[in-house]
């Protein structure tokens, strides 16, 4: 009879760590929750594309930024209203921020046009590509910084979104030039991810 053993000292300590296992489980759960939220956003984008086509393709980035700003301010107003009974208003506005931000990223990639130029299949492909890149950014940041956002309040995530919008507006006023800051596209991606995090929190209520 042979007794099979292994030397723990030769294996990474993280394998035997409960925290390591929990971190893996949470990361997996985050990916699933992220997909659930963005599927809802994509479905709404699809329905609006079906109804209105790609009329949004004529919008300049400044117009899209202003739309996002209005939605974020509405959310902040709802959060400060102590008589608020439900979170439904916040949910629809966060979804709007996600979709407007993805539209903005598409505009950066494709440029602004004078008339609608995308059919449903083309628009969805561009939408999916931008969402995939943005999700990868989220996963990389979570790998580096952990799931700290889970300890944040929805109101804090809202403030971060407004901060990002104000940064974008300043970059737009500077004609897109930055000295040390990340590009305008990174700010849109962050707003998408903050909005998804907020919706995950609201989903649990």
Q: Are 163 and 181 in contact (CB under 8 A)?
A: no
Rounded to the nearest 10 degrees, what angle do helices 184-203 and 154-173 cross at?
Answer: 160
Mean pLDDT for the stretch of residues 169-188: 78
- Residue 6 has a pLDDT of 36
* Residue boundaries of the structural domains of the chain: 33-203
- Residue 181 has a pLDDT of 60
| pTM given for the model | 0.83
Q: Are 93 and 74 in contact (CB under 8 A)?
A: yes
The mean predicted confidence, pLDDT, of the chain is 85
- Residue 178 has a pLDDT of 59
pLDDT tens digit string along 125-176?
A: 999 999 999 999 999 988 888 888 999 999 999 999 999 999 999 888 887 6
């Amino acid at each position: 009879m042979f007794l099979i053993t292994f030397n723990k000292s030769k294996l990474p300590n993280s394998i035997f760590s409960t925290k390591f296992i929990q971190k893996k489980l949470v990361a997996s759960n985050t990916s699933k929750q992220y997909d659930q939220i963005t599927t809802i956003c994509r479905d709404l984008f699809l329905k609006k594309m079906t109804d209105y086509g790609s009329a949004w393709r004529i919008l300049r980035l400044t117009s899209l930024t202003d739309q996002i700003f209005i939605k974020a301010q509405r959310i902040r107003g709802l959060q400060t209203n102590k008589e608020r009974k439900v979170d439904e208003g916040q949910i629809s506005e966060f979804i709007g921020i996600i979709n407007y931000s993805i539209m903005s990223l598409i505009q950066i990639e494709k440029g602004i046009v004078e008339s609608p130029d995308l059919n449903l299949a083309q628009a969805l492909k561009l939408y999916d590509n931008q969402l995939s890149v943005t999700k990868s950014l989220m996963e990389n940041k979570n790998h580096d910084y952990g799931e700290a956002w889970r300890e944040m309040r929805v109101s804090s995530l809202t403030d971060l979104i407004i901060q990002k919008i104000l940064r974008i507006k300043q970059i737009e006023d500077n004609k897109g030039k930055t000295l040390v800051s990340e590009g305008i596209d990174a700010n849109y991606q962050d707003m998408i991810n903050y909005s998804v995090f907020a919706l995950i929190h609201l989903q649990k209520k």
